[in-house]
Amino acid sequence: MNFLISNAHAAAPATGQQAGPEGMIFFVGMLVLMYFLLIRPQQKRAKEHKKLVESIGKGDEVVTNGGILGKITETSEQYVTLEIANNVQIKMQRHAVAAVLPKGSIKAAEKD
């Protein structure tokens, strides 16, 4: 019956490891790719946000992470007080400020 089925030649046994520097180059390449696509942009955004939080002061119009528009009436080292309507003030942490708006943005938003 051997004439119907050809004998398979045995392949060299696989060790499960990549040979030489190719495996190391791939690993290092993946680390570099992760750094430039994920880690570096996040560090840049964090640095910009820290600079923004340090620069806010009394009278600035801001929007918070929750989407609340307000004008800063008081500042301290950790907290700011926002006036979100006439005689309505809330106290929140400084790092909850997402962006500083141009002057007059709140008035323009009230007209819409």
* Average confidence (pLDDT) over 20-28: 85
DSSP letter, residue 95: G
Q: What is the pLDDT of residue 11?
A: 52
Q: pLDDT tens digits for 82-91?
A: 999 999 999 9
Q: What is the CATH number of domain 57-112?
A: 2.30.30.100
Q: In 3D, which of 58, 59, 68 has the Cα closest to residue 99?
A: 68
Q: What is the pLDDT of residue 89?
A: 96
Q: pLDDT tens digits for 47-85?
A: 999 999 999 999 999 999 999 999 999 999 999 999 999
- Give the C-alpha separation, 13 to 45, whole Å: 50
User: pTM of the full predicted structure?
Assistant: 0.67
- Give the C-alpha separation, 65 to 99, whole Å: 8
- How far does Cα 19 stand from its chain's mean position? 37
**Which residue type is seen at 2?**
N
Q: Is the pLDDT of residue 9 over 60?
A: no
* Average confidence (pLDDT) over 20-34: 88
- Give the C-alpha separation, 110 to 69, whole Å: 10
Q: What is the pLDDT of residue 78?
A: 94
Q: What is the pLDDT of residue 68?
A: 93
* Average confidence (pLDDT) over 18-41: 87
Higher pLDDT, 51 or 15: 51
Q: Where do we find the tokens 């005689």?
A: 87
What is the domain partition of the chain in residue ranges? 22-55, 57-112
